[in-house]
Amino acid sequence: MSIIAYAEQRDGVFRKSAFEVVRKASELARELGLPFYAVVIGSGLTEVAPSLGAYGAERVLLIDQPELASFAPAAYAKALSAAAEAKRARLVLVPATAQGKDIAPRLAVRLDAAFAPDVTGLRVENGSLVAVRPVYSGKAFATLAFEAERQVISLRPNVFPAGAPEDDRRAQVEPFAVSIEEADLRGRALEIVASAGKLDVAEADIVVSGGRGLKGPENFWMIEELAALLGGAVGASRAVVDAGWRPHAEQVGQTGKVVTPKLYVAVGISGAIQHLAGMSGSKVIVAINKDPEAPIFQVADYGIVGDAFEVVPQLIEVLKKTVHP
């Protein structure tokens, strides 16, 4: 038996969630006394695959085939299940990213495994796995034990720490071939448009988020400019996403993305509990809000009580003069 972790990459670059899944799998493997394999799927990845060693992978199964160059959920699930069968995996960990959400249920069906999606806690108790996941839109948490012999579990991004990389550690790479048929490639990603040229809020080290205090979509230029000057990504509260001011991909919170950047700037965001659920793990939180009683100030390291329309343009000016003169 073994443990398998799917290490997601895009254009040959591993996603942050890949490191989180690999690190968690290596910890569980140690606790359960099982071998662990990181699985890499795609094309032209021979050079990058060993770098997963920096996050605790000793062995990588590399499924490197031209027909897998772009993401195809059925083909990727087939490849991952073939790897799981070959290594008699007891547990397969997948990131609960858009890609992982597409693969994981297919994989569970293929492997006849128990399935726990989007978990935020995972531990070993008396030799068995126990998973925790939010239910009822995060109003409660369910604790899951498993009866099936196999489990497929997807991990919510930015919840499980990847830890510091040990850059000189390289994993041993084992090539693994899978037979992919035309039918497996019927649905596949032809182009990724949404993130083109933009930083993903879940991956960024700096996030500047705007809320309803911005009054309308036309004022988000302030947030975009501040984010660009700081080299960060733009985030948003659910209120503005629901209003159609910003795309859902930018939503931070319980029903949006969980973020753990080094710096989180919340502008015109009240700090509702569901928003805090997505950002309170940020290292340094700066809040700009005209209401001194806004709950966001309870989690903020630095608070500016003031009108965003006065404060943010001044910050932009200062940054333009100092950081990017």
Ligand X SMILES: Cc1cc2nc3c(=O)[nH]c(=O)nc-3n(C[C@H](O)[C@H](O)[C@H](O)COP(=O)(O)OP(=O)(O)OC[C@H]3O[C@@H](n4cnc5c(N)ncnc54)[C@H](O)[C@@H]3O)c2cc1C
Residue number, 211 or 261, with CB nearest to ligand X? 211
Tokens 């499980």 identify what position?
Answer: 160
255 near ligand X, judged by CB under 6 A = yes
For the sheet with 140-145, list strands across it: 121-125, 128-135, 140-145
Contact flags string 62-91 toward ligand X, x per CB under 6 A: ------------------------------
Contact flags string 7-36 toward ligand X, x per CB under 6 A: ------------------------------
User: What does the block give as tokens for 55?
Assistant: 């996050």
- Judged by CB under 6 A, the residue of 62, 240, 258, 286 near ligand X is 240
Residue number, 278 or 303, with CB nearest to ligand X? 278
Contact flags string 112-151 toward ligand X, x per CB under 6 A: -------------------------x--------------
Quick one: which H or E segment has residue 290?
none
DSSP letters of 32-73? HT--EEEEEEESS-TTTGGGGGGGT-SEEEEEE-GGGSS--H
Residue type, 265: V
Tokens 């085939």 identify what position?
Answer: 65
Contact flags string 265-304 toward ligand X, x per CB under 6 A: ---xxx-x-xx--x---------xxxx--x----------
With beta carbons less than 8 A apart as the criterion, state whether 119 and 102 touch: no
- Judged by CB under 6 A, the residue of 51, 65, 154, 251 near ligand X is 251
User: What does the block give as tokens for 135?
Assistant: 């239910």
CB of 43 to ligand X, least distance (A): 35
Question: How many Cα atoms within 13 Å fall on the side-chain side of residue 97?
Answer: 26
- Judged by CB under 6 A, the residue of 17, 26, 154, 237 near ligand X is 237
95 near ligand X, judged by CB under 6 A = no
Residue number, 270 or 282, with CB nearest to ligand X? 270
Residue nearest to ligand X according to CB distances in the complex: 253
Number of residues that bind ligand X (CB under 6 A): 29
Distance set, CA 257 to CA 41, 44, 65 (Å): 24, 30, 31
CB of 255 to ligand X, least distance (A): 4
User: Among the residues of 168-208, which ranges form H helices?
Assistant: none
**CA distance from start to end of the chain:** 58
